[in-house]
Amino acid sequence: MTRLLATALSLTLACALWPSGSATLAAEGEALEAAAEFRSIANKEERSAALFVEAGRVLTHARCINCHPAGDEPLQGELGSRHEPPVRRGRSGLGVAGMECKTCHQKENFDPGRVPGAPAWHLAPRKMAWEGLSLPEICEQLKDPARNGNRTVADIVEHMAEDALVGWAWTPGAGREPAPGDQETFGGLIAAWAKTGAVCPK
Ligand code: HEC
Ligand code: HEC
C-alpha cells in the first residue's frame, strides 16, 4: 500500500517535471555516432556489424517499434503501450472501415491533440514486425526478401534514408522523444553497413 502510494507520487512528480525532464533526456547521450567514426575498425566484417549495432539504437527505438508491432494493433508512447483508442491494422495496415488511421493521423503532426502525422500513415505488415526481436534477428529479417517487402539491400538503404514514415521518427511531435541523431546520420550508418557487406551482429 505504502509502495503503491510512493509509485503514484513519483509518477505525478514525473508528469509535473515532464517538459524539463524530456529536454534533459534529449541533451544527454542521444547523439548517434556517424559512419566515419567506425573507420578505425580494421576488420571489415567487424566494422560492418559495429555500424549496424549503432544504427540499431534507432531501429529498436519506440518511434520505429510502435509501428512495427508483432500484433494487429499499433503501440504508442515510450514504453510501447496499447494504442488508445483501440484500433486494428486491417488488411493493408490502413485500419478498418470507420477506424482508418487517416481519420485521425493527418499528413502532419497535430500537436494540440498530441496526434502524430505523416503522409500515408499506416502500420508495417505483420511479417515486418520488429517488436520482441533481438537486434541480430531484426538484421536478418531486414535482409530477407520474403520478410522485407521483396527489397534488395540497396532498396533498404534507400528506404531508411528517404522514407517519410522513417523520417517522422525525428520530428515526432509534442511530448514524444525523437529517435537518436538524425535521419542523415542514420542513413549514413546503414549505407556504410551495406557497403561493408551488410554483416549482422552476433
Ligand atoms: C507510421 C508507421 C511507421 C513508422 C513510424 C515507421 N515505419 Fe517502417 N514501415 C511502415 C510501413 C507501413 C512499412 C511497409 C512499407 C511497404 O512495404 O510499402 C514499413 C517498412 C519499413 C522498412 C522496409 C521493410 C522492412 O521491414 O525491412 C524499413 C527498413 C522500415 N520500415 C524502417 C523503419 C525505421 C528505421 C523506422 C523508425 C526510424 C520506421 N520504419 C518507422 C510503417 C512505419
Ligand atoms: C480515433 C483516432 C485514431 C485512429 C483511428 C488511429 N490513431 Fe494512432 N494515435 C491516435 C492518437 C490520439 C495518438 C497519440 C496518443 C498519445 O501519444 O497521447 C496515436 C498514436 C499512434 C502511434 C504512436 C506513436 C508513438 O510512437 O508514440 C502510432 C504508431 C499510431 N497511432 C498508429 C496508428 C495506426 C497504424 C492506425 C491505423 C491502423 C491508427 N494509429 C489509428 C489516434 C488514432
Neighbours of 196 (CB within 10 A): 21
Q: Are 153 and 194 in contact (CB under 8 A)?
A: yes
- What is the C-alpha separation between 22 and 78, in angstroms, rounded? 11
pLDDT digits (tens, 9 = 90+) for 100-144: 999 999 999 999 999 999 999 999 999 999 999 999 999 999 999
Q: Are 79 and 63 in contact (CB under 8 A)?
A: no
Which residues does a 6 A CB cutoff place in the pocket of ligand 1? 58-59, 63-64, 67-68, 93, 121-124, 128, 142, 148-149, 156, 159-160, 165-166, 168-169, 179
pLDDT digits (tens, 9 = 90+) for 86-104: 999 999 999 999 999 999 9
Report whether pLDDT(3) > 80.
Answer: no
| Ligand whose nearest atom lies closest to the CA of 153 | 1
| Model confidence pTM above 0.85 | yes
Report whether pLDDT(41) > 60.
Answer: yes
Q: How confident is the model at residue 8 (pLDDT cuts 50, 70, 90)?
A: very low
Nearest to 116 by CA among 74, 177, 62, 172: 172
DSSP secondary structure of 17-77: THHHHHHHHHHSS-----GGGGTT--SHHHHHHHHHHHHHHHHTSHHHHTTS-SSSS-EET
- What is the C-alpha separation between 142 and 172, in angstroms, rounded? 23
Distance from Cα 103 to the centre of ligand 2, integer Å: 10
Average pLDDT over residues 71-98: 96
- What is the C-alpha separation between 44 and 173, in angstroms, rounded? 38
Q: Which of the 8 DSSP states describes residue 81?
A: E
Q: Give the ligand 2 atom nearest the CA of 75.
A: 29
pLDDT digits (tens, 9 = 90+) for 12-35: 444 444 444 444 444 445 799 999
pLDDT, residue 61, reads: 98
pLDDT, residue 19, reads: 45
pLDDT digits (tens, 9 = 90+) for 170-185: 999 999 999 999 999 9
